[in-house]
Amino acid sequence: MTYANTIKPRSPQYKPVPMKQITYLHGEPRIIWEEEEVAQMIINEDLQFAVIGKFSYGWPEIQDLRLLIPKQCDLKVDVNIGLLSSRYVLIKTTLLEDYVTLLSKPQFYITHKQWSYPMRTLKWDPMFDSEEETSIAIAWISFPSLPPNFFGKEAIFSLAAAVGKPLQLDMATLNKTRPSCARVKVEVDLMGEFPTRINVGMRKKTGEVVEKWVPIKYDYVPKYCKTCKLQGHNERECFVIHPELYPKEEDEVVVIAYGTEKGKELFGGVKGTENTHGTAGEIKISKEESNKCGGSEFNEQRKKNGYGRGRVFNRGDKREQVWNPKNYPAKEQNIITNNKYEALREDIEKEIEELRG
């Protein structure tokens, strides 16, 4: 028996779902299943812990992703991976730990043949729509000053249910090594309310209730825009609602080079701005300067080779307004960003030299 089989949870019992009769709505065929029947379908198809992987800037072949995702995302058991639609893959895992791992990072970088492909993960939904991202996400919450007698899993999960669906305790809470604060990972609805405290009480035999307020603290919680139906920004930051916030496109090309000094060298010594998050630097140049040093040609070549995988983006192209790791400290987000572009440097240098040719 393998380790994977040992830790794999027992699947709920398979039950067939009865066939339905066709009805008609305004002359068009229609079928409606009950919620319990859909829940059983999810069990039958092993979709309880299904996750969607979204690639916005190209992706490897599906047969490569089946090997790369489990390894590079540190999954514990075998998973089933298939192409759901353009840019989206369906990742079916049977282990809660893997489900939590996949949804806990804002972004993964899937590396293949010296290219790094950003992959965002979303909770799969039975009514999945590629035009609308789910509002369900995962976040850590903490209960500072919670009395240690309430540190049992059942007690903490009961408290966490006030915020969302509790999934996992952190190790310090599980091992009782941090009695000052309990911490738990929960599945939350980004369109819901987030309480800032909860009342905890004890009823005595006399009927008297002794109680105290316990604060609820949140780690980074993804933003959600109800207008765009996208995770990563809210209405105050939305380009659709506030078009004046959209970066000017008439005078700027942004080049994410692999090391600021190298970027200056490759693009004609144009003065750029340094990026302190990781080794990648940004070089901001005008379109005229870009054309002089081959930036426009390079841009077109990269588009042909796959959705800007060379990390050269024209501001005129429509961008997804989503979470960007540049905007958050790597340590805070628990994402390793150092040297993530190092593997691309040689290929980019060769391509620039060829274009200058």
Is residue 107 in a domain? Answer: yes
Both 351 and 299 in a single domain? yes
Q: pLDDT at residue 331 above 70?
A: no
Both 79 and 149 in a single domain? no
Name the residue type at position 211.
Answer: E
pLDDT of amino acid 171: 94
pLDDT of amino acid 162: 96
Is residue 173 in a domain? Answer: yes
The model carries a pTM of: 0.65
Segment 21-49 mean pLDDT = 95
Segment 30-52 mean pLDDT = 95
pLDDT of amino acid 346: 46
pLDDT of amino acid 76: 95
Number of Cβ atoms within 10 Å of the Cβ of 203? 10
Tell which wins on pLDDT, 168 or 350. Answer: 168
pLDDT of amino acid 246: 82
pLDDT of amino acid 188: 95
Question: Tens of pLDDT along 237-269?
Answer: 999 999 888 876 554 444 443 344 444 444 444
Tell which wins on pLDDT, 255 or 222. Answer: 222
Residue that finishes a domain, picked among 123, 154, 189: 123
For residue 136, what are the β-bridge partners? 189
Lowest-confidence segment of 12-21, 126-135, 278-287 by average pLDDT: 278-287
The CATH number of residue 62's host domain is 3.30.70.330
SS3 82: strand
Both 17 and 118 in a single domain? yes
Is residue 26 in a domain? Answer: yes
Segment 196-220 mean pLDDT = 94
Name the residue type at position 274.
Answer: E
Q: pLDDT at residue 197 above 80?
A: yes
15: nearest Cα among 42, 40, 35: 40
Both 75 and 162 in a single domain? no
- Asked if residues 91 and 51 have their Cβ atoms less than 8 Å apart, the reply is yes
Both 344 and 267 in a single domain? yes
Is residue 232 in a domain? Answer: no
Both 350 and 252 in a single domain? yes
The band of 57, judged by pLDDT with boundaries at 50, 70 and 90, is confident
Cα–Cα distance measured from residue 2 to residue 137, given in angstroms and rounded to the nearest whole number: 32
Is residue 31 in a domain? Answer: yes
pLDDT of amino acid 302: 44
Segment 264-285 mean pLDDT = 42
Both 154 and 259 in a single domain? no
Both 150 and 218 in a single domain? yes
Both 116 and 7 in a single domain? yes
- Asked if residues 53 and 121 have their Cβ atoms less than 8 Å apart, the reply is yes
Is residue 267 in a domain? Answer: yes
Contacts of 264 (CB under 8 A, 6+ apart): 257, 270, 271, 272, 283
Is residue 235 in a domain? Answer: no
> How many domains are there within the chain?
3
The residue segments making up the domain with residue 39 are 3-123
Residue that finishes a domain, picked among 123, 157, 183: 123
Both 220 and 256 in a single domain? no
Is residue 234 in a domain? Answer: no
Both 27 and 68 in a single domain? yes
Both 215 and 280 in a single domain? no
Cα–Cα distance measured from residue 325 to residue 333, given in angstroms and rounded to the nearest whole number: 8
pLDDT of amino acid 247: 78
